[in-house]
Structure 1
Amino acid sequence: MATLSSWFDSEGDTLDQGLSLYFPAPHSYTGEHTVELQGHGGPVLLRALLERLFALGCRPAEPGEFTRRAVENGKMDLAQAEAVAACIDAATVRAGKQAQRQLQGAFGEHIEQLMQRLTSLVAHVEASLDFPEEEIPALFFEHLAEEMQQQLILPIQAMLDSAPLGERLFDGATVAIIGAPNVGKSSLLNALSGRDRAIVSNIPGTTRDVLEVDFEVHGIPVRLADTAGLRVSEDVIEQEGVRRAEQTAAQADATIFVADATNPDTWICRFDADIYLMNKVDLQHDGFPGHFITVSAASGEGLQDLKDCLASCLGDIEMADESMIVTRERHRQSLADALLCIETGMSTLHVEEQLEITAMQWRHAWSALGGILGIGDVEYILDRIFSEFCIGK
């Protein structure tokens, strides 16, 4: 319910006028009775309104307090709560859409389905333990193992395989461009980023320091680093530039080695690069090694192939359902723990005397999956998650 309201200071003078919105429980973000005040938004008026509210007994919310209360009141699970922060932090449209999928509960639904399947399979083992006098046919164990493989192991492994992509959607990646002087590294940086960011010159050694620019590839935020040309030099400043180039390449998530199609002396790379790129193919079309991707930074030829290859190097994979992408290290670790427990339980499945171990391991797997959603004793998880939130939300 929205009501046009006036808000007054302690002397009865009007501070501001705006909307008061009342959300009766449980129909609010937190699931509690909530009143939201919408004023005109100026910093002076907002500060005066807040000071009046504090004088009347209100207090500022702790980091993530509203979302934490929503979790505690059953309005969302932990995975959805983490998605709130992901929505705020998303740097690309793809990352934002992924965060929205998790906020709407799609990821949590997948985890719940895995837990339900696991519960069903554990029940079969528990039933076998309850009736030890019954002879259990070998076919029963084979069927159980196959069900576990198809319904749990393969889906969990697919989710784990998506983790490098999911984490980089939000954490981003650093890509270093390396190569000899004057091979077109700066031109490539400008072409990929779509901005005239780096100085381009025919004079070798123009780039002396590391120059960085942000762009995205397949929705993955990328910090692209243009480095000094790698060569032996007597110039002290250029020597420092080469040192920084090598350091940047060593620390980057991926490296692009650039060579000049017209200069064979630049084709040999002293590093193990992730992508080998032959630039200036508009000037020379053939005669170079086949493991190079061919591009022309000047004309744009081959740039899309380069972007596709770079996205693949950064973990981009085809998934039938992107709502299953793992975006948090906490989720990845819980899934890995669950998978380990499942596989450990599988190793004792065919030994009747050790079925209790199988059941115990699979119960541990259920708890690991439940921790993703906040099922069980997760107070320490709550403290860790909401300490990363911005104030209030």
Structure 2
Amino acid sequence: MPSTSTPTTAAVLTPPARGAIATVSVQGPEAIALADHFFTSLGKVSLDEANVGRILVGHWQAEEDSVGEELVVAKLSPEVVEIHCHGGVQASQRILQHLASAGCVIESWQERTTSLHADAIVAEAKLELPRAVTSQAALHLLDQANGALTREIVIIGNLLEQSNFEVAEQKLAHLLSLASFGRHLTQPWLIVIAGPPNVGKSSLLNKIVGYDRAIVLDMPGTTRDVLHATTALDGWPVQFSDTAGIRVSDDEIEQAGIAKAKAAIKTADLAIVMHDATDVKPDELDQSLRELPSALHVVNKIDLAGDIRVPNSGEMLATSAVTGQGVPELITSIVSRLIPYVPQTHQPLPFTDRQVDGLRQLHCQVQRRQFDDALQSIEKLHSA
């Protein structure tokens, strides 16, 4: 086959798992010739002869193979061909091996996505989209894939060109205020459920996620390790961690679990500290509020508390992990703590560590009125 200075590449666009159909994209000046080398249509029409947009059903086979495969090939342009074969890894990998043997360059879907977009931010959004586990998170990433953040950075650059540092600084500060939200579009918010033994931590986790993720026994020290469960609250991805009951213990394994529980609290986006409504100790409640003022404090087992009344205030919530009483209110409080402000549709926001670091550097440069350095930082944001 004739060689050109521009390579022809092939990439699998579908996830690496068993599915109904796998898609291999071939792109470049030799895409048609490479596909025709292995593909024979049932109608004996070659891709070279077919019109753009034509879909052909046929047989794919290398000369050394005794058995080929029936599949569908689409001619999307004079330099782009899509091959739709049986789902799964083996079929698509076999096609890639054939194409590579004929001189095609094999690349990952990530490399293909990056090469298709000159702007690094748009490419990053396309790469992050498959990691969004909820539709709401995906919609915000889709806005960035359609250029929302890119356009805002261009506006900031124009403001700097006009020496309007104040407005540029305000826009950068606003973008940075959304950094936590943006990064959590693909990384769930981490919530740790902590407290003494037998306050209902595991029962509450099971009630929120809707299935028995944690073992529940009326025995102190049942939970030894940190158990994780991922779900969505009001459409936002969260990961709950059920931890060992924090108490004084001589059991080495339980001590290890308690140490993990304390470490998990330190790294969590939100801690839920639970107490037993049937054994309310005002001094312990006060101490808990002082030591973890940013946590959500929950008094559980109110279905068993009899005449004991626990105030349902901004500092203390009352729940029953058995009946579900107070759990909807708890979920509402969790979401409002994690996401006090939900960005509007089409709003620009950073969503990777690289972008956040770049915007922080740019913000400092704008504050110091370092015009040339700021323009270089903007260029780096667009071209990672």
TM-score band by shorter chain is 0.7 to 0.9
* Number of the residue aligned with 1:69: 115
* Number of the residue aligned with 2:349: 325
* Number of the residue aligned with 1:279: 300
Alpha-carbon offset, residue 108 of structure 1: 1.6
Please, which of 60, 65, 68 is the counterpart of residue 7 of structure 1?
60
* Number of the residue aligned with 2:189: 173
Is the CA contact (8 Å cut-off) linking 2:144 and 2:349 kept in structure 1? no
Please, which of 328, 331, 343 is the counterpart of residue 304 of structure 1?
328
* Number of the residue aligned with 1:130: none
Is the CA contact (8 Å cut-off) linking 1:6 and 1:14 kept in structure 2? no
Q: Distance in 1 between matches of 2:323 and 2:65?
A: 69
Alpha-carbon offset, residue 232 of structure 1: 1.9
Query: Does residue 200 of the first structure (1) align with residue 224 of the second (2)?
Result: no
Which of the pair is proportionally richer in strand?
Answer: 2
Q: Distance in 2 between matches of 1:42 and 1:247?
A: 41
Is the CA contact (8 Å cut-off) linking 2:148 and 2:346 kept in structure 1? no
User: How big is each residue's C-alpha offset from its partner over 1:141-170, in whole Å with a ceiling of 9 and x where there is no partner?
Assistant: xxxxxx643x32222211110101111221
1:9 maps to amino acid = A
Q: Distance in 2 between matches of 1:44 and 1:336?
A: 45
Gaps of 5+ in 2: 1-52
What SS class does the counterpart of residue 201 from structure 1 fall into?
A: coil
Which structure has more relative contact order (CA 8 Å, sep 6+)? It is 1
1:113 maps to amino acid = I
Instruction: Provide the TM-score with structure 1 as the length reference.
Output: 0.73
User: Where do residues 54-93 of structure 1 align in structure 2 (5 Å cutoff)?
Assistant: 54-62=100-108, 64-71=110-117, 74=118, 77-93=119-135
Alpha-carbon offset, residue 256 of structure 1: 1.2
Gaps of 5+ in 1: 26-32, 123-146, 346-360, 375-380, 382-393
Please, which of 155, 161, 167 is the counterpart of residue 171 of structure 2?
155
User: How big is each residue's C-alpha offset from its partner over 1:225-250, in whole Å with a ceiling of 9 and x where there is no partner?
Assistant: 11222222344443333233223323
Instruction: Provide the TM-score with structure 2 as the length reference.
Output: 0.74
* Number of the residue aligned with 1:189: 205
User: Where do residues 369-388 of structure 1 align in structure 2 (5 Å cutoff)?
Assistant: 369-374=378-383, 381=384
* Number of the residue aligned with 1:232: 248
Q: Distance in 2 between matches of 1:18 and 1:225?
A: 46
Q: Distance in 1 between matches of 2:197 and 2:360?
A: 45
Is the CA contact (8 Å cut-off) linking 1:114 and 1:152 kept in structure 2? yes
Query: Does residue 95 of the first structure (1) align with residue 116 of the second (2)?
Result: no
Is the CA contact (8 Å cut-off) linking 1:169 and 1:219 kept in structure 2? no
Is the CA contact (8 Å cut-off) linking 1:260 and 1:279 kept in structure 2? yes
Q: Distance in 2 between matches of 1:46 and 1:70?
A: 21
* Number of the residue aligned with 1:52: 98
In structure 2, the CA distance between the partners of 1:67 and 1:289, relative to structure 1 (3 Å rule), is closer
Q: Distance in 2 between matches of 1:248 and 1:89?
A: 24
Q: Distance in 1 between matches of 2:88 and 2:331?
A: 44
User: How big is each residue's C-alpha offset from its partner over 1:2-61, in whole Å with a ceiling of 9 and x where there is no partner?
Assistant: 231433322697723333222337xxxxxxx22222223465544443332222222321
2:54 maps to amino acid = A
In structure 2, the CA distance between the partners of 1:289 and 1:230, relative to structure 1 (3 Å rule), is farther
Q: Distance in 2 between matches of 1:283 and 1:158?
A: 47
1:365 maps to amino acid = A
In structure 2, the CA distance between the partners of 1:67 and 1:184, relative to structure 1 (3 Å rule), is same
* Number of the residue aligned with 2:47: none
* Number of the residue aligned with 1:377: none
User: How big is each residue's C-alpha offset from its partner over 1:313-362, in whole Å with a ceiling of 9 and x where there is no partner?
Assistant: 435523344532221122112222222222222xxxxxxxxxxxxxxx23
Aligned residue-pair number = 323
What SS class does the counterpart of residue 64 from structure 1 fall into?
A: helix
Q: Percent identity?
A: 29
Which of the pair is proportionally richer in helix?
Answer: 1
What SS class does the counterpart of residue 107 from structure 2 fall into?
A: coil
In structure 2, the CA distance between the partners of 1:245 and 1:46, relative to structure 1 (3 Å rule), is closer
In structure 2, the CA distance between the partners of 1:90 and 1:318, relative to structure 1 (3 Å rule), is closer
